[in-house]
Structure 1
């Protein structure tokens, strides 16, 4: 027992802090004034940083304060660029601290630093994006931000976002979502204090419903990590096993890893639901990270009575669609339901705003890689996805999409198996991290999946070409058959 606690001490402390954050939620939600609530949330966040990081807390505290100052000192036209390069530059320095004679911070401190990067860079892009939207609206003569400007489908920005220095401080350090996420916009944070939704949503009901699966995830993680430990994949004993065993071992590793992520993300969501952060009426068609996508300005004018009887959800702070992660057929869909809040951030900050169209996806993937870390494993895992998706899309359009009934189920199972196997193979690199460790495992299975993927892609391109050639003939035959039937 003592050896188990010593081995997993950091994880146990992190789990206790997350559960404590969930327990604090109802008391935090009941605080009487906005000012008191903001300062309490920030002080709790700073206390969490100090407990998790110790003297290494200087990194998240310093980087966040300088990042906030950079936003306010830079012009609104360039604040997003300044904050992006500063925060990611500091993230590099932070992770290479031992190269500068400083102690290397813990993995838990790294997670906090990653969240702060999302928040500070994200709010800078909100400030700049809303400014551009207001400027464009004025040029077009639109009344964006007024009561007359209420559309059926909202634009990305409807109002000018320009938080004060102290509000940026509170947004950055608020304890809700600080340890593991999820990421939520500054708009969501501001709405929490000024709109009545958190007073009337069933926070306890949502929290209990979210938490009920956590014991299962933790139990599975502990059991699987003991049965199939990561380090065994590098051992001589593993290399002496059959090829099928070596090929399938990453399935066990990725299954174990998923339970760890599910438990952490679900607890993080519970911190939000317990405090009431991210609650919006369902008619807003709320999306992870973004919040309401329909009728936001109209919702803001809700009376207390309307808010009291509204139906709510916490989709805005949903990080993981666990059922989707386990069951979706394609890797493309799997990426959409995995860590949804971060996916939203990458799309909003990088993909949509990158100026060179054909490099958008590469820019998004590169930023995702460097946000996760500087190890080769992140590159091998994340950058491989689009190449598999290229092949997958061909088979999806040719065979899965037009299929029906049993045939669709069989093809779907095959695609699900291949998708799951590809993710497992990639996850081995993600978990092993360094190039030498990755090379040991991939060499033990002869780098087979790259060969399989390339063969699938080449075969798919050939089949797609043949399909395009044969399609006009099929259409002509169908038209002739219809004509004959009509003449009869």
Structure 2
């Protein structure tokens, strides 16, 4: 009976898991398909089939929004397509999440994930088209001043014009690889997959097995942790009657379970890519998540077939999570860099680098990240409060940890890791509880203590930093006077 209850409660997640596993399994067959056009059409049809299976009637949301976004790209032209597409896709995302207010059935969480990926792809390719046009136009104006790409230590963001036709935009938006839950990859990566020989010669099976081997552990830990420490218990009277230490540490268990869920989903998503060969590039390109090769890209495109057979490859381009780093990194700033890296790359490329008001770049990036996740209060509490913790963390990092060595560095590292982990867990509770009333119930039960701790740490850190700055010139001056007296 318990098993049946569990299956019925998590039926959509179970179907989603099997579809991810199916996407991994068919990669080797998809990779071996004949012509490029056949491969593109099969990938698109598979993607649309997955959308229909997952979403049913609600499949019209990702299909309608994606096709309309693609038409906007083509109709508005290269100069304004990125802005028009951005506002349309995010406006549709709001409508999609409020569908029940307009008489439509509210989509499931799984359909929401697909819609989120469609938004990333359609908006992302619009910014690629516009960004490449701007970069190439600028390069032509300064052609005589530019050195060749081969002499540069790092490639420019855009090295050639990106201008896909209408059909290729459809293929990119709906290809099954990465459609269910990511990772995000550029149109350039998608185009290279079909035009360059790398996917034929990389050891896709070896990479996929290596990526998949930890998934059973993540799923087992998720099931165990979510059973032992369920989310709803945090709102119960029984929880409120437990000791303050228990209430304070309960979010650690919730966030640990949540991380296992994310790790398993992201790892399976990466395996879909490795199985099909998407995102494979020679290691000499110093490949970065989302972006692809950062060094010598044009040279890699001209690599002879014989060299491609023997070169060493990696799948860094589609890597979303660095699991071990997520668990062990000392600071929140570093933790953010290794969490959902592909989406972070998209936010940086589309929002942070392109936002016109420099002082508001960070706030714009955070705001877009929040509304992409959803409009629940929990996302604001979780994501938008990060900078306040970072302000305090950066001070202590520079004052005490950065130049520490030996045992002192290890002790300080553990303290900073504990504080970082506790902060993430406290914020994750809001992310999971979602609505303001539920968040308020839990935070009130622990007297909103962590915000008080943040504020105290920040004020103390500012005072210590000021004292350090005031003492530093005095130390230098005294050292200089001592040196002069020795010279005399």
TM-score range, shorter chain: over 0.9
Show the counterpart of 2:221: 220
Instruction: Say whether the 8 Å CA contact 1:143–1:149 is kept in structure 2.
Output: no
Write the distance in 1 (CA, Å) between the matches of 2:145 and 2:186.
23
Alignment of 1:265-276 (within 5 A): 265-276=266-277
Residue 350 (1) aligns with residue 315 (2): no
Show the counterpart of 1:260: 261
Q: Describe the SS at the equivalent of 2:26.
A: helix
So what's the TM-score if we normalise by structure 1? Answer: 0.98
Shift in Å at residue 139 of structure 1?
1.0
Instruction: Say whether the 8 Å CA contact 1:150–1:298 is kept in structure 2.
Output: no
Change (3 A) 1:231 1:142: farther
Show the counterpart of 2:408: 407
1:385-444, Cα deviation, whole Å (9 max, x unpaired): 001000000000000001111001101110000000000000000000000000000000
Moved more, 6-15 or 433-442: 6-15
Moved more, 473-482 or 153-162: 473-482
Write the distance in 1 (CA, Å) between the matches of 2:106 and 2:40.
31
Aligned residues: 486
Show the counterpart of 1:377: 378
Residue 396 (1) aligns with residue 397 (2): yes
2:110 to 108, 111, 119: 108
Show the counterpart of 1:64: 66
Change (3 A) 1:137 1:444: same
Show the counterpart of 2:289: 288
Instruction: Say whether the 8 Å CA contact 2:70–2:166 is kept in structure 1.
Output: yes
Write the distance in 1 (CA, Å) between the matches of 2:152 and 2:315.
23
Change (3 A) 1:480 1:405: farther
Shift in Å at residue 353 of structure 1?
0.1
Q: Which runs of 5+ in 1 are unaligned?
A: none
Write the distance in 2 (CA, Å) between the matches of 1:485 and 1:432.
66
Write the distance in 1 (CA, Å) between the matches of 2:150 and 2:210.
37
Instruction: Say whether the 8 Å CA contact 1:204–1:274 is kept in structure 2.
Output: yes
Q: Describe the SS at the equivalent of 1:159.
A: coil
Alignment of 1:65-84 (within 5 A): 65-84=67-86
1:133-158, Cα deviation, whole Å (9 max, x unpaired): 011011112598x9877633100000
Q: Describe the SS at the equivalent of 2:33.
A: coil
Write the distance in 2 (CA, Å) between the matches of 1:486 and 1:411.
39
Shift in Å at residue 476 of structure 1?
2.2
Show the counterpart of 1:278: 279
Residue 13 (1) aligns with residue 15 (2): yes
Alignment of 1:188-203 (within 5 A): 188-203=189-204
1:183-202, Cα deviation, whole Å (9 max, x unpaired): 00000000000000000000
Write the distance in 2 (CA, Å) between the matches of 1:62 and 1:124.
17
So what's the TM-score if we normalise by structure 2? Answer: 0.98
Shift in Å at residue 378 of structure 1?
0.1
Alignment of 1:83-482 (within 5 A): 83-141=85-143, 151-482=152-483
Show the counterpart of 1:32: 34
1:205-248, Cα deviation, whole Å (9 max, x unpaired): 00000000000000000000000000000000000000000000
Instruction: Say whether the 8 Å CA contact 2:150–2:296 is kept in structure 1.
Output: no
1:58-113, Cα deviation, whole Å (9 max, x unpaired): 00010001010110111100000011000000000000001111110000000000
Instruction: Say whether the 8 Å CA contact 1:391–1:457 is kept in structure 2.
Output: yes
Instruction: Say whether the 8 Å CA contact 2:204–2:274 is kept in structure 1.
Output: yes
Instruction: Say whether the 8 Å CA contact 2:149–2:155 is kept in structure 1.
Output: no
Write the distance in 2 (CA, Å) between the matches of 1:121 and 1:397.
38
1:353-378, Cα deviation, whole Å (9 max, x unpaired): 00000000000000000000010000
Shift in Å at residue 42 of structure 1?
0.3
Q: Describe the SS at the equivalent of 1:278.
A: coil
Shift in Å at residue 479 of structure 1?
3.1
Shift in Å at residue 8 of structure 1?
1.1
Write the distance in 2 (CA, Å) between the matches of 1:147 and 1:458.
50
Shift in Å at residue 483 of structure 1?
4.8
Instruction: Say whether the 8 Å CA contact 1:234–1:441 is kept in structure 2.
Output: yes
Write the distance in 2 (CA, Å) between the matches of 1:201 and 1:486.
66
Shift in Å at residue 477 of structure 1?
2.9
Change (3 A) 1:148 1:399: closer
Instruction: Say whether the 8 Å CA contact 2:401–2:412 is kept in structure 1.
Output: yes
Write the distance in 1 (CA, Å) between the matches of 2:113 and 2:349.
21
Write the distance in 1 (CA, Å) between the matches of 2:486 and 2:46.
76
Write the distance in 2 (CA, Å) between the matches of 1:481 and 1:400.
29
1:3 to 2, 5, 11: 5
